[in-house]
Amino acid sequence: MLDFLNSQGTIYVSMVLGGVLGLSLYLPLLAGQLSLASPGFYALGGFVAAVLSTKTFDVEGTYPIHLVLVELVVAAAICGVLAFVVGLAALRLTGIYLALATIAFVEVLRVFTLNLELTGGAVGIFAIPQPFGTQLSYLWLAGPLLIAAALFTWRLEKVRVGRAFAAVREDELAAASMGVDTTRAKITAFVLGGVLAGLAGVIAAHQINTWSHRQASFDASIAYLAFVLIGGTRTFLGPVAGGLFLTYLPEWLREQAKHEFLPAWAAEFLRTGRFIIYGVLLAASCVFFPRGLITPELLRRIKRIGRGGSRPPGQNIRPEPEVVA
């Protein structure tokens, strides 16, 4: 059993980080800001880890875990400051214009990391030291990060700052006239998303062992957006589920090629053509699950089943406010 888990370790860690990245896009979306900048901050966080661990710290043997924690703090600080600066400028834009500006930000960042000596140029940075012996052990870092990020997001939606986000998302003008500092809310949401993506990048850089400009790609921008839109945009569980599921899907398809009963052409198709299936499923799920896989209604239904179908007195008498995009 443990052997099996270890052989699958890489994909489990990637899935968990996928959940974190989904949340990093969900946070700005809470304040109504469609930002596709996550791959940029993810790449930046990874480069912080790669540069610090190979050039600054330069430890012999197993890489000590406390240095990874230092990297996480540094990456969070750098990504936070950059997100603040980018946010100040970009958040004057809305909707598709903001999305395009963040795509441009990711692309500019990519070209710079491709050409700077510090980031290893076209080949990137190799032999990033490993704090763990097995891939599966990275769950000790990625797991708590996902849980912390999910709990944080869950609580955020219940407190003053999160309420301000929701107000801006529903109607910026109305929120502003009610005294919500909309610029502050939007920038906070953007910075939170950027920091979270940067933290995921630090862990991923150690886990993957090499890091290059390819991490900041346009495809990644849309893939993370898919995590959120297909997972569900109305509860924090949506992007987490979307990230876990959509990261696992291509691997799962490849695994299926090993079944013996498949004819040779089908196995070949699953191995080399699995991204065709991924693309089709991506498009199909938009058509068939336009509100995402996990919706607030679904959660309510699950809760009701959990209570044995009976409705305790005094609850659900007032209809819960339905939030609409």
Partner 1 sequence: MRLLFQKLLNGIAIGSVYALFALGYTIVFSILRVINFAHGAIFTVGAYLTYALTGAAFGRNGQLRNASLPLELNFWIALTLGALGAGVLGVIVERLAFKPLRQRGSDPLLTLVSSLGVAIATVNILQYLFGAENYSFGETLGSMPASVTLVGGELPVVIRTKQIVIFAVSMVLVVALTLLVNRTRTGKGLRAVAEDLTTARLLGIDTDRLIRLSFFISGVLGGIAGALIGLAGSFNYQFGVTIGLKGLAVIVLGGLGDIPGAVVGGLVIGVAEAFVPAEYNAYKDAVPFVVLLVVLLVRPQGLLGRAQVQKV
Q: How far is the CB of 49 from partner 1 (least distance, A)?
A: 24
Q: How far is the CB of 235 from partner 1 (least distance, A)?
A: 16
**Residue 225, amino acid:** L
- Residue 262 binding partner 1, by CB under 8 A: no
- Residue 275 binding partner 1, by CB under 8 A: yes
Return the bridge partners of 125, or none: 211
- What is the sign of the dihedral through the CA atoms of 5, 9, 11 and 15? positive
- Among 56, 115, 209, 316, which residue interacts with partner 1 (rule: CB under 8 A)? 115
- Residue 279 binding partner 1, by CB under 8 A: yes
What backbone torsions phi and psi does residue 93 show, to the nearest 5 degrees? -95, 160
Residue 213 and residue 229 in contact, taking contact as beta carbons nearer than 8 Å: no
Q: How far is the CB of 183 from partner 1 (least distance, A)?
A: 15
- Residue 226 binding partner 1, by CB under 8 A: yes
* CB contact set of 309 (below 8 Å; sequence gap of 6+): none
- Residue 249 binding partner 1, by CB under 8 A: no
- Residue 140 binding partner 1, by CB under 8 A: no
Q: How far is the CB of 26 from partner 1 (least distance, A)?
A: 13
Q: How far is the CB of 104 from partner 1 (least distance, A)?
A: 4
H helical segments located in the chain: 2-7, 9-30, 38-51, 65-90, 95-115, 139-156, 160-170, 172-177, 182-208, 218-231, 237-256, 264-272, 274-288, 296-306
Cβ-based burial of 50 (10 A; exposed 0-12, middle 13-18, buried ≥19): buried
Q: Which stretch binds partner 1 (CB under 8 A): 57-65, 111-119, 150-158, 308-316?
A: 111-119
- Among 20, 75, 150, 225, which residue interacts with partner 1 (rule: CB under 8 A)? 225
- Residue 323 binding partner 1, by CB under 8 A: no
- Among 269, 295, 296, 299, which residue interacts with partner 1 (rule: CB under 8 A)? 269
Question: Smaller CB distance to partner 1: residue 93 or 161?
Answer: 93
Whats the size of the chain, residue-wise? 325
Q: How far apart are CA 31 and CA 45, in angstroms?
A: 23
- Find where tokens 């490993």 sit: 130
Q: How far apart are CA 165 and CA 187, in angstroms?
A: 10
Question: Smaller CB distance to partner 1: residue 272 or 316?
Answer: 272
Q: Which stretch binds partner 1 (CB under 8 A): 16-24, 137-145, 150-158, 279-287?
A: 279-287
| Residue span 59-98 as binding mask against partner 1, x where in contact by CB under 8 A, dash where not | ------------------------------xx-xx--xx-
Question: Smaller CB distance to partner 1: residue 103 or 142?
Answer: 103
Q: Which stretch binds partner 1 (CB under 8 A): 126-134, 202-210, 272-280, 315-323?
A: 272-280
- Residue 159 binding partner 1, by CB under 8 A: no
- Residue 114 binding partner 1, by CB under 8 A: yes
Residue 75 tokens read as 């990456």
* CB contact set of 22 (below 8 Å; sequence gap of 6+): 224, 227, 228, 231, 238, 239, 240, 242, 243
Residue 102 tokens read as 């963040």
> Helix 237-256 vs helix 139-156: angle between axes, to the nearest 10 degrees?
140
* Footprint on this chain of partner 1 (rule: CB under 8 A): 34, 89-90, 92-93, 96-97, 99-101, 103-105, 107-108, 111-112, 114-115, 173, 218-219, 222, 225-226, 229-230, 269, 272-273, 275-284, 286-287, 290-291, 325
